Amino acid sequence: MNIQQLFSEAQQLSSPKLRDEIVHHLYQRSNQLCQEGVTYSKSKSDTKTEKLDAIFTSPFLGFPIMIVMLGLVFYITIAGANIPSTMLAEFFGWLENYLTAFFTFIHAPDWLHGVLVLGLYRGTTWVISVMLPPMAIFFPTFALLENYGYLPRVAFNMDRIFKKVGAHGKQSLTMAMGFGCNAAAVISTRIIESPRERMLAILTNNFVPCNGRWGTLIVFASLFMAANFTGGLKSLVTTGVIVGLVLFGIIVTFFVSWVLSKTALKGVPTHYTLELPPYRRPKFFDTVIRSSLTKSWAVLVRAVKVAAPAAILTWVVANIYIGDTSILMYMVQFLDPFGQMLGLDGYIMLAFILGLPANEIVLPILLMGYLSTGALTEVDSLVDLKKIFLEQGWTWVTALNMMLFSLLHYPCGTTLINIYKETKSKKWTFLAFLIPTVIAILVTFIIAQTARLLGWI
Amino acid sequence: MTNPIRVALAGNPNTGKSTLFNALTGLRQHTGNWAGKTVSLAEGKVQYKGKTYSFIDLPGTYSLFSNSTDEEVARNYIVFEKPDVTLVVLDATSLERNFNLALQVLEMTTNVIVCINLIDEAEKKGIKINERILTNKLGVPVIKLSARNKVGFDLLLDTIERIANGTIECKPTLMTYSDEIEEQIYKIEPYIRGMIGDRLSSRWVSLRLLDGDEKLLNEINKRLRLEEVKITDEYSTAIL
Amino acid sequence: MHTTNRLTLYQGKKGDFIRITDIFLEGVMRRRLLDLGFVPGAIIEVLKKSPLGDPIAFRVSQTTIALRKEESSKIEGELISNDKSN
């Protein structure tokens, strides 16, 4: 008898009633164990969780609290990261002078100084100063919220909307993971029981900006959108812009899920159960230290590993000339018409293409591209940074579209690899690349053309 | 060098299983990917009395009747990778449902320690647990813990060590079902034993077949075939 | 008028205690519900609705589980008490 025959044989012997009985026996035994080995003295138990749930999942306050929480996490991250970011940038700039002096002292050839200091060193230190402070604040803050037990409440509140668009309520949990890292979030979709809804969660996860894109979003939001504000208000306006972008990403997620579940991933929402665990105060220091050491550090190491070769490559293509034009300029000129159509330019398009391995390196590559042509070669502060962009003809539309393109474009290389591993399908992996890319192009195109038509720029 | 002793942590979601894993292994752990929670298998090594123990944090699961990919990962690890010791972590404040998983694991494998976590929270709620009665009833060690405050760790490590070196012998009390169910088990168990030998508990597989767990069956089938391929490979290399 | 105390979990009001009698679901979902403690005979407390009305959270064997309308309307039981009425 082979195993399949055995299975049908067993099905003959079995019946729904018998199956129920098996579980029933287990429960009877559990119950018996509890009666024999456990005594319950107080009658009413967990009122704290009930009271908190009355607020966090309240019909009036549930949704506003979610948005405030989201904003709060971003605000703490943005406001807190500002000063350390500047300090890191200043420190690395200070160190660069000594490195340059050392290269001059040993009479190193210009190209060596270029590759190692202007390429490798600058590229990676920019990644560190832009990325590390927000990560070091975001991950622990988020881990605290996660360990406290708030996230399942978000899934509880949002489920109805997910159901409407044909998706699974637990998708909000995987989206929350996406704020940290989309590649990890793709793996976390394993908690979703049904394959169809899991695929929706995988295909749309990218519309949640990961840590690798935050640096970019924060820089442009504070340089261009919150430019006229100072101090605490500046961070607040920046936060507002970021929250707006995130909400837009969520709307796109719903829209794409809805379209897909009407077309390629047709089907009705399948079964759903969600546990709401009691709120538990996390161990503050344990959580903070663990998440900083494991997550922030791991993500940073990955970013630097990708940034180092990318920075060298960028410097090399910017400095090898064919005729009187560098390779970089050839690429930029080739991409420029398309970039202009989207309200961007050739440098930006090139940065996104070279940034495929990791979103962290998009901004550094862009800056290196601009610096290789512009008059400014020293970037000591954010003011200098803005000057570079303005010199290249940036307007608020360029900044907005840069942020939108970053939010909506294709997932990074690591995420795509994970999508392939999880779906084992080239077709779906390609769609995971194509859908966001098409949306990013459409949205930026519409904004750029409208702005031009109405004479805003 | 001897292989480390593999200790798997299983349990319902939200039982503080990851907290226990983190507290036991400190920062000496690694995962394949940056993975927020236990989505891929995290592993951490601990030295205790001159031996190396490798703890594996499995994804949370309500039952061995798996439902999501995550639960399948946990189920497959316990069933097919056969850890040296399996810790089933239970939430002391909701024991009734938690015992359901523990009982399922005990039907399938013998070297199990039932860890009742969140014991301080339960005590605050007026829940008193007599672990000696439970140990007697279940036939395996039952240990009360607070992973958060690192209470009960010495006893836990000591028990793991003594199970691994054979000082403690686990004899899980067998669940008996109604006559009707037992009769059906009796009918199909011989066939199953013939097919899988003593790789897995044939009684447990019979129950799962009656249960209609087709996914498990496919997994067994897949693994049996893999084994066959391996054997024929070895055979062909032997004659070459 | 004829009154009955039979109802589905979906029809339950906040604070209702319902003893499950029948589960009109098959296959994997049935098994999942059983594993979570929605077994015939179990007493379920209706805890609260999600802000948008669905899903609903239930207390079942000392834990809180939320179910969508699709499932909760297929679990039937008898009303035993409402903690507001006593």
Domains of chain C, each with CATH number or no CATH:
6-81 (2.30.30.90)
Residue B235 has pLDDT above 60, yes or no: no
**Are B101 and B71 members of one domain?**
yes
Residue A1 has pLDDT above 80, yes or no: no
The pLDDT value recorded for residue B37 is 38
**Are B83 and B134 members of one domain?**
yes
The pLDDT value recorded for residue B197 is 83
Cα distances (angstroms) measured from residue A216 to each of A390, A408, C51: 16, 13, 35
DSSP string, A173-226: HHHHHHHH-HHHHHHHGGG--SHHHHHHHHHHGGGSPPHHHHHHHHHHIIIIIS
Domain count within chain A: 1
Q: Which of C23, C31, C43, C64 to mutate to test the interface with A (most CBs of A within 10 A)?
A: C64
* Domain final residue, candidates B164, B187, B217: B164
The pLDDT value recorded for residue A180 is 84
The pLDDT value recorded for residue B240 is 47
C63 contacts in B (CB within 8 Å)? Answer: 94, 97
CA distance B61 to chain C (A): 10
Q: Which structural domain, as residue segments, surrounds residue B81?
A: 5-164
CB-nearest partner of A22 from B69, B148, B211: B211
The pLDDT value recorded for residue A250 is 96
Q: Is residue B172 part of a domain?
A: no
Q: Is A40 on the interface with C (CB under 8 A)?
A: no
CA distance B240 to chain A (A): 31
Residue B29 has pLDDT above 90, yes or no: no
Residue A419 has pLDDT above 50, yes or no: yes
The pLDDT value recorded for residue B39 is 43
Q: Is residue A282 part of a domain?
A: no
CA distance A43 to chain C (A): 12
Q: Is residue A190 part of a domain?
A: yes
Q: Which helix (H) or strand (E) holds A241?
A: helix A231-262
CB burial class (10 A; 0-12, 13-18, 19+) of residue A423? buried
When mean pLDDT is compared over A2-6, A234-238, B128-132, the highest value belongs to B128-132
Chain C residues whose C-beta is within 8 A of a chain A C-beta are 26, 28-29, 31-37, 39-40, 42, 47-55, 57, 63-68, 70-71
| Position B35 confidence tier, pLDDT thresholds 50, 70, 90 | very low
Place of tokens 């975001």: A138
pLDDT in tens, C8-36: 999 999 999 999 999 998 888 888 899 89
CB-nearest partner of B217 from A3, A185, A295: A3
**Are B214 and B157 members of one domain?**
no
Cα distances (angstroms) measured from residue A291 to each of A285, A433, B15, B35: 10, 30, 20, 11
A16: closest chain B residue by CA: B211
Length of chain C: 86
CA distance B132 to B136: 6
Q: Is residue A337 part of a domain?
A: yes
A40 contacts in B (CB within 8 Å)? Answer: 126-128
CATH number at residue B92: 3.40.50.300
Q: What backbone phi and psi angles, to 5 degrees, belong to B128? A: -110, 130
CA distance B79 to A405: 46
Place of tokens 């590993």: A305
The pLDDT value recorded for residue C16 is 92
Q: Is C62 on the interface with B (CB under 8 A)?
A: yes
**Are B146 and B196 members of one domain?**
no
Is residue A86 a contact partner of residue A112, using CB atoms and an 8 Å limit? no
Q: Is residue A265 part of a domain?
A: yes
**Are B91 and B34 members of one domain?**
yes
**Are B94 and B196 members of one domain?**
no
Q: Which structural domain, as residue segments, surrounds residue A189?
A: 63-271+306-453
Edge-to-edge strand list for the sheet holding A273-275 = A273-275, C63-67, C56-60, C43-49, C16-23, C75-82, C6-8
Structure tokens at B151: 């209470």
Does the distance separating the beta carbons of B95 and C63 come in below 8 Å? no
**Are B73 and B158 members of one domain?**
yes
The mean of the pLDDT values for chain A is 88
Determine the average pLDDT of the residues in A271-275: 85
**Are B112 and B231 members of one domain?**
no
Determine the average pLDDT of the residues in A281-289: 84
In terms of DSSP H, where are the helices of chain C? 27-36, 69-72
Please name the chains neighbouring A, where neighbouring means 3+ C-beta pairs under 8 angstroms: B, C
The pLDDT value recorded for residue B33 is 37
Does the distance separating the beta carbons of B94 and C62 come in below 8 Å? yes
Place of tokens 């944090």: B57
Determine the average pLDDT of the residues in A171-199: 89
**Are B206 and B145 members of one domain?**
no
**Are B64 and B94 members of one domain?**
yes
Q: Is residue B174 part of a domain?
A: no
**Are B124 and B184 members of one domain?**
no
CA A231 to chain centre: 26
Q: Is residue A438 part of a domain?
A: yes
Q: Is residue A49 part of a domain?
A: no
DSSP string, A74-101: HHHHHHHHHHHHHHHHHHHHHHHHHHHH
Domain count within chain B: 2
Structure tokens at C71: 């499932």
pLDDT in tens, B215-227: 888 888 888 887 7
CB-nearest partner of B94 from C28, C35, C61: C61
Is residue B20 a contact partner of residue B117, using CB atoms and an 8 Å limit? yes
Does the distance separating the beta carbons of C29 and A271 come in below 8 Å? yes
Cα atoms in the 13 Å half-sphere on the side-chain side of C57:
26
Cα distances (angstroms) measured from residue B206 to each of A114, A201, B50, B82, B211: 70, 36, 40, 19, 8
A277 contacts in B (CB within 8 Å)? Answer: 13-14
pLDDT in tens, A192-213: 888 899 999 999 999 999 888 9
Q: Is residue B125 part of a domain?
A: yes
The pLDDT value recorded for residue C2 is 46
Q: Is residue A34 part of a domain?
A: no
Structure tokens at B154: 């010495």
Does the distance separating the beta carbons of A177 and B177 come in below 8 Å? no
Q: Is residue B173 part of a domain?
A: no
Rounded to 5°, the CA angle A269-A274-A276 comes to: 155
For A314-317, the CB contacts below 8 A with 24+ separation are A314/A119, A314/A123, A314/A354, A314/A365, A314/A368, A314/A369, A315/A114, A315/A115, A315/A118, A315/A119, A315/A120, A315/A123, A315/A368, A315/A372, A316/A115, A316/A119
Residue B236 has pLDDT above 60, yes or no: no
pLDDT in tens, A371-398: 876 544 556 566 678 888 998 899 999 9
**Are B140 and B187 members of one domain?**
no
Q: Go through A203-242 and write b for each residue having 16 or more CB atoms within 10 A of its CB, e for each that does not.
A: bbbbbbbbbbbbbbbbbbbbbbbbeeeeeeebbbbbbbbb
Q: Is residue A22 part of a domain?
A: no
CA A240 to chain centre: 17
